[in-house]
Structure 1
Amino acid sequence: MTTAAVFGCTGLVGGHILATVLAHDAFASVYTISRRQPKAGESSPKLHATVEADSAKWASELSALSPFPSTVFSGLGTTRADAGGIANQWKIDHDLNVEVAEAAKAGGAKTFVFISSAGTRGLLSGSVPYSKMKVGVEDKVKELGFDQAIIVRPGLILGDREKSKPGGWFFNSLAHGLGSIARVLQDSWAVEGEYIAKAAVHAALLADQGKAPSKYWVLEQKDIIRLGRDEWKA
């Protein structure tokens, strides 16, 4: 049995990660550090939730955990609109993720799982701020040299959010409509947040068993579908 920490636990993917690890027998205890109490697993005896409104303190809160988690998941992320501009979004999507990764490494975490995004290393991605944020975190995680680093790169994330994104209803409906015609029409570009979470947890468990294909393991869309839906066993 292992101990995990989940960041971004009040978001769509992070909330599913939290629910998944709390329900899995492989995890003895689970820590969260967030601005508000997570809804997933509120009554679980495994959950140790820290509510801290100041995200600048999250890395130090992580460093203080005992026993220190062997696996750290980060689904931290926001939108430009919610953050109030690119500069503030960068502080969350890049800077905070880097701080958490550095604290995880310094504390002795063996596995670090980062929820990134598809297409961040495309031909024109170097001029797109969002892609630069994700690439910066990916590169830092690789540089830190965890025993196991797992980068998850989903396409469009489907699911119910507490705060809907512009066009969210349309794209969810479009993806599900195409999926009802042929699964491959959805799987090639969109995936449920639940499956992303299960793929992340599945990969972490495989890594703990020494079954990861490489020390720096990148899960693209097809890998997420395979690990999070097709091969997932609760």
Structure 2
Amino acid sequence: MKILLLGGTGLIGKQVLLSLVFYPQIKKVIVWARSSKSPSNPNVPIEVIQVSWEDFQSGKVSLPDGLDAVFCCLGTTINKAGSQEKFKEIDYEYPLLAAKQAKEKNVPGFYIITAMGSDANSSIFYNRVKGEIETELRNLQFPFLGIFRPSLLIGERDEVRVGEKVGEFLGNLIPFGLLGLKKFKPIPGEYVAKSMIHSLLHDKPEKGLPPQVKVYENDILWEIGKDHSF
């Protein structure tokens, strides 16, 4: 299998690359990143291509041919982006542009990280944008669309996100499982990454069937991540 990874320098993108050693079915990974620095994996050929989204938007660069899947791990926060407009550019416009081109190139699978609570009709801007991109991707009718909705993420980042640090603290303090709140429990980024790969290998669209959409909520991501820990 040959996949394109968008957002390979982020928390989940890095975990995708580190996890690939356990999946010999994946023969090549192409990483698009703003920086040429990206985690390497000696067991999987990884090609890191430094791409600016301005060049992608202008048509100077395009998705490679022969892909089996696109993993979209792009994501930021409004605080880091600097404005709601910039946040929507990164979390909505870039993924949609990539998805449209993937559809044109007949890529059979598109896999994207959104968020718990994604809802195109939400009064909360963050959740609304996440819901809007889900709606647009559904409309493109990929043979298979995987949507992954994690709660607060746990893991090492290049920058500190206060909300996620608080979530990690609460995750260690509160017995979410015993309280029936597992859906809300903060989740390690590696569990989300492994769930994406698990979906790639097991959610096979069948010829002749309508386009398939599968949504992985946070509690399911926990179950898959725990079952596929190494």
- TM-score tier after normalising by the smaller chain length: 0.7 to 0.9
Tell me which residue corresponds to 2:107.
109
Q: What is the CA–CA distance in structure 2 between the aligned matches of 1:218 and 1:92, rounded to whole Å?
A: 21
| Distance change (3 Å), C-alpha of 1:222 and 1:154 | same
Q: Is 1:162–2:158 an aligned residue pair?
A: yes
TM-score by length of 2: 0.87
Q: What is the CA–CA distance in structure 2 between the aligned matches of 1:150 and 1:168, rounded to whole Å?
A: 24
Gaps of 5+ in 2: none
Give the letter for the 2:225 counterpart.
G
Q: Is 1:201–2:200 an aligned residue pair?
A: no
Tell me which residue corresponds to 2:14.
15
Q: What is the CA–CA distance in structure 2 between the aligned matches of 1:176 and 1:155, rounded to whole Å?
A: 14
Tell me which residue corresponds to 2:45.
46
Q: Is 1:27–2:26 an aligned residue pair?
A: yes
Percent of aligned positions that are identical: 23
Q: What is the CA–CA distance in structure 2 between the aligned matches of 1:87 and 1:22, rounded to whole Å?
A: 37
| Distance change (3 Å), C-alpha of 1:22 and 1:107 | farther
Q: What is the CA–CA distance in structure 2 between the aligned matches of 1:61 and 1:172, rounded to whole Å?
A: 41
Deviates more, 1:145-154 or 1:126-135: 126-135
Q: Is 1:188–2:215 an aligned residue pair?
A: no
Tell me which residue corresponds to 1:146.
142
Q: What is the CA–CA distance in structure 2 between the aligned matches of 1:80 and 1:142, rounded to whole Å?
A: 25
Q: What is the CA–CA distance in structure 2 between the aligned matches of 1:228 and 1:38, rounded to whole Å?
A: 26
Give the letter for the 1:222 counterpart.
D
Shift of 1:17: 1.6
Gaps of 5+ in 1: none
List structure 1 segments (4+ residues) > 3 angstroms apart after TM superposition.
42-45, 58-64, 182-188
Contact 2:4–2:31 (CA under 8 A) maintained in structure 1: yes
Shift of 1:103: 1.2
Which residue among 50, 53, 56 is the counterpart of 1:55?
A: 53
Structure 1 counterpart SS, 2:214: strand
Shift of 1:120: 1.7
Contact 1:22–1:47 (CA under 8 A) maintained in structure 2: no
Which residue among 92, 98, 101 is the counterpart of 1:100?
A: 98
Give the letter for the 1:49 counterpart.
V
TM-score by length of 1: 0.85
Give the letter for the 1:40 counterpart.
P
Q: What is the CA–CA distance in structure 2 between the aligned matches of 1:70 and 1:225, rounded to whole Å?
A: 25
Contact 2:63–2:101 (CA under 8 A) maintained in structure 1: no
| Distance change (3 Å), C-alpha of 1:73 and 1:174 | same
Shift of 1:40: 1.9
Q: CA RMSD in A?
A: 2.4
Give the letter for the 1:11 counterpart.
G
Q: What is the CA–CA distance in structure 2 between the aligned matches of 1:61 and 1:193, rounded to whole Å?
A: 32
Contact 2:70–2:111 (CA under 8 A) maintained in structure 1: yes
Q: What is the CA–CA distance in structure 2 between the aligned matches of 1:183 and 1:221, rounded to whole Å?
A: 12
Structure 1 counterpart SS, 2:107: coil
Higher helix share: 1
Shift of 1:98: 0.4
User: Alpha-carbon deviations, 1:27-85, whole Å to 9, x = none?
Assistant: 01000111013432265551011012x2133465773414x211110010111121111
Deviates more, 1:126-135 or 1:194-203: 126-135
Give the letter for the 2:133 counterpart.
V
